[in-house]
Structure 1
Amino acid sequence: MMAQLDFPYRFDARGRTTGTDEADHIRDLIEQVLFTHPGERVMRPDFGSGLLQVVFSPNSVVLAATTQVLVQSSLQRWLSEWIVVESVQVETMDSTLRVTVQYVIRGSGARVVGTFVQGGGA
């Protein structure tokens, strides 16, 4: 199996483009979908989830449910060729956004739980 480009793009100690395996590449793709604002990519203005726009919104049950649907639909739209999304949990605290996604990698059948953090804390 051929290595994929790692994200963020960088060079290794030999001065070559850094590669990664399929599981890490898919994790990188999920992170890009979650934390890219629609309109940020020139050739794909609708790419992304719009998730970061809800970080400073007041917490509520309705906001949490809406955010989970937003994330799940964005992941299904952009990554359905690579993953099957089983569940999404979104938590906000102050200026930190934590998204936990349970998914199955289509190529290997591996079930993965990934946590993605954006903002003030880790």
Structure 2
Amino acid sequence: MNLAYPYRFDHRGYTAEATDDTHLRDLIEQVLFTSPGERVMLPDFGCGVMQMVFAPNSFELASATQVLIQSGLQRWLGHLLTVSNVSVEADDATLTISVTYQGLTSGQWRMETFQRSVEGAP
């Protein structure tokens, strides 16, 4: 059984569950948008990409962010997936990340896109 992320209840009032593919996507999202230090018991967990939203756009920053994401996913989820490609776009206060990966259990290749906007941004 995989717990749904974010944690919620289903229509029966039980803890919501997620399929294996959805759970893997949820895990990727957690690694991407958790800042190091945010989790008390795992202070190194996460990529900290939300800090990049307000950084000046440049090829170098995009490349560094892609490496940061790939290494974070490999470190925390390497036993569940293989990352093939990461692309990052920052537009004003919105960060869009696309990850192409292969689930090691299913063997299927998938591409997921994650988007976050910074609240309170102009």
**Fold shared, TM-score > 0.5 on shorter chain:** yes
2:16 to 11, 15, 18: 18
Q: CA deviation at 1:16?
A: 0.3
Show the counterpart of 2:55: 57
- Where do residues 38-77 of structure 1 align in structure 2 (5 Å cutoff)? 38-77=36-75
Q: CA deviation at 1:50?
A: 1.2
Show the counterpart of 2:6: 8
1:111 to 106, 109, 112: 109
Cα distance in 2 for partners of 1:9, 1:56 equals: 29
The share of aligned pairs that are identical, in percent, is 53
Provide the TM-score with structure 2 as the length reference: 0.95
RMSD: 0.7
Q: CA deviation at 1:69?
A: 0.3
SS in 2 for 1:14: coil
Show the counterpart of 1:81: 79
Q: After the TM superposition, which parts of structure 1 deviate over 6 Å for at least 4 consecutive aligned residues?
A: none
Provide the TM-score with structure 1 as the length reference: 0.95
Gaps of 5+ in 1: none
**AA partner of residue 29 (structure 1):** L
Q: CA deviation at 1:83?
A: 0.4
SS in 1 for 2:65: helix
SS in 2 for 1:43: coil
Show the counterpart of 1:35: 33
Cα distance in 1 for partners of 2:93, 2:39 equals: 24
Aligned residue pairs: how many?
118
Cα distance in 2 for partners of 1:35, 1:29 equals: 10
